[in-house]
Structure 1
């Protein structure tokens, strides 16, 4: 960055959001898009730009869970600040989840389960990342405390949502739709991965490939098939572990090839004590360096397993985001995973008597599915990478009076 200018490597999604933000009378900008359309990175770039435009600006970034936010938006923010030559470690207050610019403007980030922040101080701008994870009441509390523009981004994975009913119809709302085709900087290998979605699940391709509104259905996972064995070329082996006692404790091995993902049920048993479980793990996990992603509701069991020499960490339990990640690749389940297969066939979305299908699973007989989801989505968050954008355009950073 030189004095008075900022070279931003960007896609058209950034430009469209910047135009909307500078249009008089626009209060809300909704970004509906498919995967890798650059919508989140573009909005992070816009947050940086707006903070530099004026001293003392507060820009809030919110998502359903803090681990998901740190693995996605915060990582994007740090990368963009570094590329722009603006990153300074001393400006990042990790305790307060706050980055402060030299002119006094700030970007804060928090999750919606932090009620103090949701109902806290006023801000100038807001980015609700994966906004379809938020509840309507959360949205209302956030909008009440945002003075200028609110930006939402989401993958349109449900047919019925408060965003369609409460937000998009507003006269002061600008709607922006994008797909991976709006990001010309994606390498061919990533584009091919996205096109594989069409074979994985037609509705998933509609949402994440085409950026179009999903079509409701009651069965959640329709894209999986049985297989005899996990192929020898499958890599990145890890495990998801869901604790139970009256309910079964479930362990699912997760691995993948470039084309597909594989689940194999390893344990599905009730009435296990912690010593019992550790003995099972010794038999079922040959390499203790393979990561176990476990239900964080039982930290004491996690610690006991760690002391037994296993590599274990807390799983991210975001249900909707985890389901979407599982559906992002063709899924094969080994034929010996009897209980897991039974759960998959019965796993449904909740449906109201009116026929409206909710974006919430029926929480019955889902122990092995939860374990598979932990091992899938937590690994994705931990290993998420971004594709650099390599074209820049110079923007003025001095606001006209």
Structure 2
């Protein structure tokens, strides 16, 4: 550890200490080093570690600590809500919704470590601050940037007493109302240990909003076209290569709104292709279909699809809009294999699709008219952005939702297709 990362560890002496900025910029390792020292030398009393979910906390932080200190010094107790580090028992918790605040009510804490802080509801963050009541208690956190109107940016970071900026300058606030918070801002290039090919590939795979936030570390508004890296000249094809695996179908369920299914395969050229689209719009057809009729339609669509002289495909997975429980039940009763709830993490899913377009490992066959019409018009909701919320405008988004369901639900199966290295995409 060197440069800005080392300097941040030396400056992390405030009540609140937050590492924010680009992915793979050294934030996590630096914050973990400070946290491990705090576990050994901080005030006595209960400690807490928090993530968006307990699962992501284990993957992002606890597993890293285990690699650093060894399994004997870091023992994760699955199901018990605890991890033992250096012999000290630490509570662990997920904070992905408003109900999470109930997990920490009544606690008296001597310290806390928070991963992915911007994903927490404000009520949870505020409650956690009140729980740090042991004398000398500190909190340490990491996050990627969000919109400039996010509560963490406006109410905490902008009022920090100490700020180690992107350019390496250190600024101390003269405002007497400044918070006892130290803010450390990072860009991707702050990490000198990353291979140049990896950095180049990471930059190329992030476009628009995600480039600004995850590469440059900027707190910027989500505005304009969501998939601004989509280029019809580059990403639309008339011919498909040999498909070595029919990976999945992503289904966005609709009765009054359109019902959409997108068939996605992996080609012999190690790229993904949206090969075919099933779409029923009851507003155009003037006829609503039942779950049973949709099931027949999807099965007939897959059975009749022809590719290079072969008729019929059997995708490994059929990922369905998780709100469509009755339709999934219908598919199961009809004996359709591989049916599962789609991962409906909207922003993470958008990032996965954006990464695939940015890395040029995703193309769409010209016959898929619905998704090709929706992609250029799929935009961020400007009014929501003004409130600090990143969400798409809910207009004509049925095919793009189906694309997101398919791509994000299988991200672990195609991450290796990304150029140069297994780049960071939402898991």
CA distance in 2, matches of 1:310, 1:336: 26
SS in 2 for 1:349: coil
What is the deviation of 1:28? 2.0
Structure 1 residue 354: deviation in Å?
11
Deviation per CA, 1:65-111: give whole Å up to 9, x if none. Answer: x3xx62x4311335324424543699533334332346232140313
Q: How many Å separate the matches in 2 of 1:346 and 1:299?
A: 29
Higher relative contact order (CA 8 A, sep 6+): 1
Shift in Å at residue 381 of structure 1?
A: 5.8
Counterpart of 1:249? 259
> How far apart, CA to CA, are the structure 2 residues paired with 1:90 and 1:195?
34
The Cα of 1:245 is off from its aligned counterpart by 2.2
- 1:296 and 2:322 aligned: yes
Deviation for aligned residue 1:175: 1.7
* Residue 249 (structure 2) pairs with residue 239 (structure 1): yes
Which of 51, 69, 77 is 1:62 aligned to?
51
Aligned-residue RMSD, C-alpha: 3.8
What is the aligned partner in structure 1 of residue 425 from structure 2? none
Aligned mate of 2:109, from 89, 109, 123: 123
Matched, 1:50 2:34: no
Matches within 5 A, 1:279-358: 279-285=296-302, 287-288=313-314, 290-306=316-332, 308-329=335-356, 330=358, 332-352=363-383, 358=389
Task: Tell me if structure 2 keeps the 8 A contact 1:349–1:359.
Answer: yes
Alpha-carbon distance between aligned partners in 2 of 1:381 and 1:365, rounded to the nearest angstrom: 28
CA displacement 1:116-172 (0-9 Å, x = unmatched): 225453433334433333343343233222343333433324243222210112322
The yes-or-no answer on 1:170 pairing with 2:160 is yes
Q: How big is the shift at 1:46? A: 4.5
Is the 8 Å Cα contact of residues 216 and 357 (structure 1) preserved in structure 2? no
SS at match of 1:361: coil
- Judged with a 3 Å threshold, the aligned counterparts in structure 2 of structure 1 residues 180 and 90 are, in CA distance, closer, same or farther, namely closer
Unaligned runs of 5+ in 2: 162-179, 283-287, 303-311, 423-427
Per-residue deviation, 1:224: 0.9
Q: Which residue of structure 2 aligns with residue 391 of structure 1?
A: none
Q: Which runs of 5+ in 1 are unaligned?
A: 1-9, 388-401
Q: Distance in 1 between matches of 2:29 and 2:325?
A: 34
TM-score, normalised to structure 2, is 0.71
2:202 aligned to 194, 198, 203, which one? 194
**Quick one: which of 277, 282, 287 aligns to 1:266?**
277
- Aligned residue in 1 for 2:172: none
Structure possessing the higher radius of gyration over alpha carbons: 2
Q: Structure 2 vs 1, CA of residues 357 and 85 (structure 1 numbering), >3 Å: closer, same or farther?
A: closer
The answer to whether the aligner puts 1:76 opposite 2:65 as a matched pair is no
**In structure 2, C-alpha distance between the alignment counterparts of 1:49 and 1:381, rounded to whole Å:** 34
User: How far apart, in 2, do the equivalents of 1:163 and 1:321 lie?
Assistant: 19
**2 CA distance for matches of 1:363 and 1:141?**
32
The answer to whether structure 1 residue 217 and structure 2 residue 223 are counterparts is yes
Distance 1:27 1:246, change over 3 A: same
Equivalents in 2 of 1:120, 1:371: separation in Å? 43
When residues 290 and 103 of structure 1 are mapped into structure 2, their CA distance, relative to the original with a 3 A threshold, is same
Q: Distance in 2 between matches of 1:88 and 1:299?
A: 44
Q: Which residue of 1 aligns with 2:10?
A: 19
